[in-house]
């Protein structure tokens, strides 16, 4: 299936970020991304993070990222299992 994005795409480097603006749980959001040939956003640079934030601001709601917490509390990886190479946590996050 193809997402009807109507200009709601942001580019950063070789990546494209998009949202259909619909609210969903993590599993449904991941499935929608995979059906469109992608995956949940995994920001790996400030430029990519800004592209994601532009979309978040456009819809004025939270977005899921392709990041998961490991069995060790406070340790995170991308959903692929690769350790995070970029983080920008707010204080106390």
pTM of the model: 0.80
DSSP bridge partners of 76: 69
Count of structural domains, the chain = 1
Spatial distance between the Cα atoms of 40 and 52, rounded to a whole number of angstroms: 11
Spatial distance between the Cα atoms of 20 and 32, rounded to a whole number of angstroms: 9
Asked whether 48 and 13 are in contact (CB, 8 A), the reply is yes
Between vectors from CA 75 to CA 70 and to CA 81, what angle results, nearest 5°? 50
User: What domain range includes position 14?
Assistant: 2-78
CATH classification of the domain holding 20: 3.10.100.10
Q: pLDDT tens string for the chain (93 positions)?
A: 445 555 578 889 889 898 888 889 999 999 989 988 899 999 999 999 999 999 999 888 888 999 998 888 788 999 998 988 888 888 877
Is 87 a member of any domain? Answer: no
């Amino acid at each position: 299936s193809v997402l009807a994005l109507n200009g709601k795409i942001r580019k950063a480097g070789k990546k494209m970020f998009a949202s259909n603006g619909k609210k969903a749980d993590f599993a449904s959001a991941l499935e929608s991304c995979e059906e469109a040939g992608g995956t949940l956003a995994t920001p790996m640079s400030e430029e990519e993070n800004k592209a994601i934030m532009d979309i978040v601001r456009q819809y004025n709601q939270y977005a899921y990222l392709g990041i998961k917490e490991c069995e060790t509390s406070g340790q995170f990886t991308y959903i692929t299992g690769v350790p995070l190479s970029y983080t920008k946590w707010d204080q106390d996050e």
